[in-house]
Amino acid sequence: MSGSITFSSVQSIRGSLMVIKTNGKLGYEELVEIELSNGEKRLGRSLQVSEDIAVVEVFEGTQGLSPRDVKVRFLGRPLELPVSNELLGRIFDGLGRPIDNMPEPVGSEELDINGKILNPYKREYPDEFIQTGVSVIDGMLSMVRGQKLPIFSGSGLPHDMLAAQIARQATIAKGEEFAVVFAAIGVPADTAIFFRRELEESGALKRSVLFLNLAEDPAVERIVTPRVALTAAEYLAFEEGYHVLAILTDMTNYGEALREISMMREEVPSRRGYPGYLYTDLATIFERSGRITGRKGSLTQLPILSMPADDITHPIPDLTAYITEGQIVLGKELYHKGIYPPVNVLMSLSRLMKDGVGEGKTRADHKELSDQLYNSYSKAMEIRSLAEIVGEEGIPESSKKYLQFADAFEKKFIKQDPYENRDIDTTLNIAWDVLSILPESEWTNISEKSKKVYMSVVQKRNL
């Protein structure tokens, strides 16, 4: 802990912001410690500094604070997290302080939670397939190591179940180390308990770090929770060589906390009251993922966010999808049909799939097959909605096959048990089964080469 320690007084308090006297001694984004007369201590960070005063956000909120009876101390440093291997197996609060009744881990270094900008030139292009064992993901939305791929969900949908299934099933080659960094951002306690139990039961807890800012915890703290978690994740990935999966839930709560502070600062809002810098701010979180040339580990992000009113154009999902490398969208329609995972395939996308699949990675027929399934399923959805209006008589004979195809695609390919782990061969073979409901004249994306793969799949089955 370096820097001068100065005491100061508070001028005014407004929401979770405080204006304090500084005499120019406080740097931008540096920490202050606020001590109440009863000895309680809170942490704050400057948002704006000038020669005499500074605006400070108080992470634990300002309830019970009175300008007269608090002391403010300048810590002379930004918010930092002590990092080391000892983070694994530990549980922290949203600011990175242990809450598991164990001592503060000994850090080999203290890192600024804002991280440093990765030099794009030193990034390695992510192209290593992660088999999650979930057909709709592996087959249609393949994930690669170092990707940032969020789950967009709605209330009551099984996003936690799906994220936990991915964390459990994501396979790793022998000799490699896997770690999970979990950040709860304003979610109910039972969500955190659910993830903890899932990690425990799969034996991954000792390979996990948990950062918990729960619904009852202060909202301002949410601004830093994902950054603290990613600081741990980056360290484990790029310095310790782990393949890290970072689950951040729920990023919508993060966005709302950001809006709250922006409103208190009386900034000019852009859409729906969110600050104009929401995109940039989210990018400083989501871009903290990837692989680095010459380093062993990788950092894959699986953020979860609930779409307010199921609206994908809401600023938080919208800007998230502008930053992440695709999105897995869950939908009520499939959920009500009893299909788990209820992934809306057409709204979903994995942008890094193209280089992570194919010969030598998954299978030579993978790309064409998934292209074809996308094409056919989207055509089937058009026919399905048409059939709902004009009735099955109103559609040509050749279109009726599409209705069968769509049903099979949903019930055989997408649908699976939360504890069922399908390997990529199984996934692609089911895909062929489903596609073969359509006559070959409809396979506009399938080359002769892939048809041969298909034939061999069929032959193997018949043996």
Does residue 267 bind another protein (CB under 8 A)? yes
Per-residue binding letters, 297-326, with ligand ATP (x by CB under 6 A): -------------------------x----
Q: Exactly one of 30, 128, 256, 410 binds another protein (CB under 8 A); which one?
A: 30
Q: Are 289 and 246 in contact (CB under 8 A)?
A: yes
Shortest distance (Å) from residue 374 CB to another protein: 4
Does residue 237 bind another protein (CB under 8 A)? no
Shortest distance (Å) from residue 66 CB to another protein: 27
Nearest CB to ligand ATP, comparing residues 427 and 450 = 450
Shortest distance (Å) from residue 463 CB to another protein: 30
Nearest CB to another protein, comparing residues 49 and 431 = 49
Kindly give, in sequence order, each residue whose CB lies less than 8 Å from that of residue 320, ignoring residues fewer than 6 positions away: 150, 152, 251, 282, 286, 303, 305, 327
- Residue 301 CA to residue 290 CA, distance in Å, equals 9
- Residue 123 CA to residue 105 CA, distance in Å, equals 30
Nearest CB to ligand ATP, comparing residues 7 and 322 = 322
- Please name which of 226, 254, 250, 257 lies closest in space to residue 58, comparing C-alpha atoms: 257
Angle at 40 between CA 78 and CA 189, to 5 degrees: 80
Nearest CB to another protein, comparing residues 74 and 92 = 74
- Residue 240 CA to residue 217 CA, distance in Å, equals 31
295-308 residues labelled b (16+ CB within 10 A) or e (exposed): eebbbbbbbbbbbb
Shortest distance (Å) from residue 143 CB to ligand ATP: 13
Q: Which of residues 354-383 bind ligand ATP (CB under 6 A)?
A: 358-359
Which amino acid is present at 270? Answer: S
85 burial type by CB count under 10 A (0-12 exposed, 13-18 middle, 19+ buried) = middle
Q: Which one of the spans 27-35, 200-208, 351-359, 413-421 is the region binding ligand ATP (CB under 6 A)?
A: 351-359
Q: Which of residues 228-257 bind ligand ATP (CB under 6 A)?
A: none
Which of the choices ligand ATP, another protein, none does residue 359 contact, using the CB cut-off of 5 to 8 A by kind? ligand ATP
- Residue 71 CA to residue 395 CA, distance in Å, equals 76
Shortest distance (Å) from residue 164 CB to another protein: 26
Q: Which of residues 313-372 bind another protein (CB under 8 A)?
A: 313-315, 318-319, 321-323, 325-327, 346-347, 349, 351-352, 354, 367, 371
Shortest distance (Å) from residue 15 CB to another protein: 18
Does residue 150 bind another protein (CB under 8 A)? no
- Residue 185 CA to residue 227 CA, distance in Å, equals 11
Which of the choices ligand ATP, another protein, none does residue 208 contact, using the CB cut-off of 5 to 8 A by kind? none
Nearest CB to ligand ATP, comparing residues 28 and 322 = 322
Does residue 351 bind ligand ATP (CB under 6 A)? yes
DSSP β-bridge partners for residue 72: 8, 34
- Residue 182 CA to residue 66 CA, distance in Å, equals 35
- Residue 87 CA to residue 110 CA, distance in Å, equals 12
> Which positions lie near ligand ATP, rule CB under 6 A?
322, 349, 351, 358-359
